[in-house]
Chain A
Amino acid sequence: MTVAFDSRTGRLRLDQETFDCLVAWARGTAEPGPELSELRDVGAIQDGVPHPKVWPGLQAVTEPLCRLQAGSIEHNGRRRIGDGWVSSEAAALLLDAPDGMRELVTVHPSFLPMTIARVVRLGPRPRGGADPLHLPSALYDSLFDSDEATRRQAAEQLSAGGSVELPLHDVVDRLVTGPWRMWAVTLTWTTPDGQPAARGLQVADTGAGLCLVDTGGQDSTLWPTTATGVWRRLTLLLPDAVRTP
């Protein structure tokens, strides 16, 4: 395990145990763990306090106004997850890194949409169609399976017997062949009157178009959208307590 810290950007690369140790230390735990020495060695902790680039993120982790959960899956079954904590001053994101490590990124909350857009590689895509595709949830699961043969079978079932061209047919074709990435972000918090609240979105990103995904109920729906449509939703994710502290 090797911890790496970039003091210019504040990015901290570490494993989950070391992150847990850092948080326990920030919370004042008497013996947070042996990983603390490596955090000191790389400069994430200096003279008994967190580095100034790490401190706002750690405060968000220990006293969050809202929590963030993110995840993605690709056509080959590769999964990545992310955890986040947001305060009025900072958003801390702990993201899966390719080598099994995790990366702690701290930004101002107003940069959260951009940070998510970079992580999921949001960008220009063709419009996949105008009409949504409604499908039974079992078929939806098969269409996003990591096995191409299963996806192909689902696509054939979708188009079987239909005299009308399938909505989003280019998107469906791309879901069969890949590459594609499905990603989701959810923010949760408690309102001032104690009620749980959440905002989120789930997006299927194929080279043939972007879709918002609605998986509530027995049926699932792919709603065609654009990168602009996704961006509008990303800019609305934060709760009002963070947007206008």
Chain B
Amino acid sequence: MDLDEYHHPGTGSVVPVPPGWDRLEDPQSGVALIAREPDDPAGFRANLVLTVDDMSSGLGLDEWQADSDRLLREELRNYFLLDREVMRFGDRPVVRRLAHHASPDTGPVTMEQWAMVTGSTGYTLTASVATLSYDSLADVFSSIARRFRPGSTGHDEETP
């Protein structure tokens, strides 16, 4: 699938987005972008969310993501961690997780997430899709994550 490149003005990040997906820029504090597939009356709309965290307190990727693991367990209904790994995009370490959650509003959802730190900013790219449609978008999500470029935000690059 060809992907459009969305440039987020506030962070300088570049987010590849499937063509035709709706985009909401800076919808709330800490959320740089929400991109959603066009309306699908049949069910959950696959989406992509870029969140940005201030890491100036010195929190590293491992501690930050350990906190994220705990928060996800606490906040998402019927949360179940399926996979988790530390991988590298170039020189940058990335935590990838695959999880399942479900609520009466959403039905069963598969969530894939990539988290990385650049300078004093933590970026989390979260892709979600109705579980039975996961396989059809898994490679697209993976391609989005690999082509994502976090902004430099004017801070020093993290030493890997």
A111 lies within 8 A of B80 (CB): no
Question: Which A residues are CB-close (under 8 A) to B84?
Answer: 124
A243 (CB) vs chain B CBs: closest residue:
B132
Q: How far is the CA of A17 from the CA of B49 in the complex (A)?
A: 50
Interface size on B, residues (CB 8 A): 20
Q: How far is the CB of B104 from chain A (nearest CB, A)?
A: 11
Using known A-B contacts A110-B107, A117-B80, A124-B81, determine if residue A228 contacts B98 with beta carbons closer than 8 Å. yes
Interface of B: prevailing SS: strand
Scoring B residues 38 to 81 as 1 if CB is less than 8 Å from chain A, else 0, what string do you get? 00000000000000000000000000000000000000001011
Binding site for A on B (CB under 8 A): 78, 80-85, 98, 100, 102, 107-108, 110, 130-135, 138
Using known A-B contacts A111-B108, A124-B84, determine if residue A235 contacts B102 with beta carbons closer than 8 Å. no
Q: How far is the CA of A201 from the CA of B83 in the complex (A)?
A: 18
Question: Which B residues are CB-close (under 8 A) to A179?
Answer: none
Using known A-B contacts A232-B134, A238-B132, determine if residue A114 contacts B85 with beta carbons closer than 8 Å. no
A113 lies within 8 A of B80 (CB): no
Query: Once A and B bind, how many residue pairs between them come within 8 Å at the CB atom?
Result: 59
Instruction: Scan residues 201-245 of chain A and give those whose CB is less than 8 A from a CB of chain B.
Output: 226-228, 231-232, 235-236, 238, 243
8 residue pairs bridging A and B, Cβ less than 8 Å apart: A110-B107, A110-B108, A110-B130, A113-B132, A228-B83, A235-B131, A235-B132, A238-B132
The bracket for how many chain A residues form the interface is: 10 to 19
Which residue among A113, A123, A226, A231 has the maximum number of chain B CB atoms within 10 Å of its CB? Answer: A231
Question: Which A residues are CB-close (under 8 A) to B138?
Answer: 228, 232
Q: How far is the CB of B150 from chain A (nearest CB, A)?
A: 23
Within 8 Å by CB of B83, from A226, A235, A236, A243, lies A226
Using known A-B contacts A110-B107, A110-B108, A114-B108, determine if residue A231 contacts B132 with beta carbons closer than 8 Å. no
B81 lies within 8 A of A114 (CB): no
Counting CB contacts under 8 A, is A118 at the interface? yes
Question: Which B residues are CB-close (under 8 A) to A226?
Answer: 83, 85
A110 lies within 8 A of B132 (CB): yes
B80 lies within 8 A of A118 (CB): yes
Counting CB contacts under 8 A, is A122 at the interface? yes
Question: Which B residues are CB-close (under 8 A) to A243?
Answer: 132
